Amino acid sequence: MSFSSKSLRLVLLFTITITIFKPSTSLNLNFISFTETFSLLFGYQNILLSNDDKSVQISMNQWARDGSGFVSRSAYHHGLFTASIKLPNNNYSAGVVATFYARNNAFNRDDEIDFEFLGHIPGEEWVLQTNIYGNGSVHRGREEKFTLPFDPSKDFHNYSILLNTGRVVFYVDGLPIREVRKVEAMGDDFPSKPLFLYGTIWDGSDWATHNGRYKTDFSHGPFVAGYAGFVINGCPVIDPTQPTQPDCQVSLPDGISAVERSKMQVFRRKYMTYSYCYDTGRYPNPLPECEAEAPDMQPAEPPVVLSPVEPPVSGASRRFRYI
């Protein structure tokens, strides 16, 4: 269901300032119009557009507890996808989940690449969780959790997903923090289908904060997340049966440079708090991409696995009712 620009601007509009993302590889990047690129997904009354149509706020509150979200009008086979995001700055945000992710919507066969931001109790910090799966392999979660070297609720920061034929790379402010390289033994677990882009905020009380110990308390709301600086450097899918689209040329990074890889290792060593590759309680036999032939994917020292009995879970399956 689509909406006109007039119907989207139902409440006062706002203006924000962002820092421009400059990746290490020279790309033809242009910030895009929200209404030309995205449609409202749910919680329409909780979505506010800026007057320049380049940024948006999504929120949830005690009167609209299902939250809100948006989805791209087109799907993409490969590309570099960026959003600048400012998370809710409430002192208590436990149970709140804000996301920026790519997904293909094939029922029980879906591919997905996730940034999931998990709320916190007072005195703690937002947690960034990344995850990928392919062909509906949600029971083989590949979650990694990180704290961040900044407060993501104080200002806008850039979060990017690079999807190429053989790799997925997650970036924070232009710095790669995670790379997943396709290995043959992964089979269909590696995302391969055209993906739509999403931004959502919703109630993940049953899992998001300390595995559901702390629930969303709407008396601390509203919970508002800002999204801006959208960049889509990819070819929209015209014919889903074709692996590439005619007359569409996109330059994407081929991989991570030696300098970037070194910085990624430092980041992972300092800020990673969980990796499925080290969770032997969950995976006695590590998943294929965790094996020693791909040591660059892991930090120099294993992170502390806080709860092998209750491993992190992704909220992906909880979003089906909105799609």
Catalytic residues: 112, 116
Q: Are 235 and 245 in contact (CB under 8 A)?
A: yes
First vs last Cα of the chain: how many Å apart? Answer: 11
**257-262 contacts, C-beta under 8 A, 24 or more apart:** 257/24, 260/24, 260/175, 260/176, 261/176, 261/296
Strand-pairing partners, residue 85, are 157, 227
Q: Are 265 and 297 in contact (CB under 8 A)?
A: no
Q: CA-CA distance, 112 to 252, in Å (whole number)?
A: 20
| SS3 per residue for the chain | CCCCHHHHCCCCCCCCCCCCCCCCCCCCCCCCCHHHHEEEEECHHHEEECCCCCCEEEEEECCECCCEEEEECCCEEEEEEEEEEECCCCCCCCCEEEEEEEECCCCCCCCEEEEEEECCCCCCCCEEEEEEECCCCCCCCCCEEECCCCCCCCCCEEEEEEEECCEEEEEECCEEEEEEECCHHHHHHCCCCCEEEEEEEEECCCCCCHHHCCCCCHHHCCEEEEEEEEEEEEEECCCCCCCCCCCCCCCCCCCCCHHHHHHHHHHHHHHEEEEHHHCCCCCCCCCHHHCCCCHHHCCCCCCCCCCCCCCCCCCHHHHHHHC
